[in-house]
Amino acid sequence: MTKRTRRMHNPAFKAKVALAAIKGEKTLAELAQQFDVHPNQITAWKAHLVGGAAEVFGAPAVGAVAPVVDVKTLHAKIGELTLENDFLSGALGKAGQLSAKR
């Protein structure tokens, strides 16, 4: 028996096979033979599709919470950068150039 090289299936193919398994018109063995994949792989794809179906209809995923933004830190950073720009603009003016803006 020869070893088969590892194959990578695209998401569209996985969805097609999983949907065929959910329909239940054919057995897993028939689907495995038709699509040339192992029945355990079809079962895993089917479970993944069923588990992720709620996300399709807008239910937020558990880990998809928006990060909290610290406004005070952002305002402090803006002030720091503004001060730095004003300082450098003044330094360029004193060095003989008219302005830092081009």
How far is Cα 98 from Cα 89, in angstroms, rounded to an integer?
A: 9
Give whole-number Cα distances, 64 to 15, 47, 58, 59, 68, in Å.
Answer: 22, 21, 12, 10, 12
Closest CA to 15 of 50, 40, 61: 50
- Report yes or no on whether pTM surpasses 0.95: no
Helices 11-23 and 28-35 cross at an angle (nearest 10°) of 150
How confident is the model over 28-36, as a mean pLDDT?
A: 94
pLDDT tens-digit profile of 42-90? 999 999 999 888 787 775 555 666 678 889 999 999 999 999 999 988 8
**How much of the chain exceeds pLDDT 90, in percent?**
56
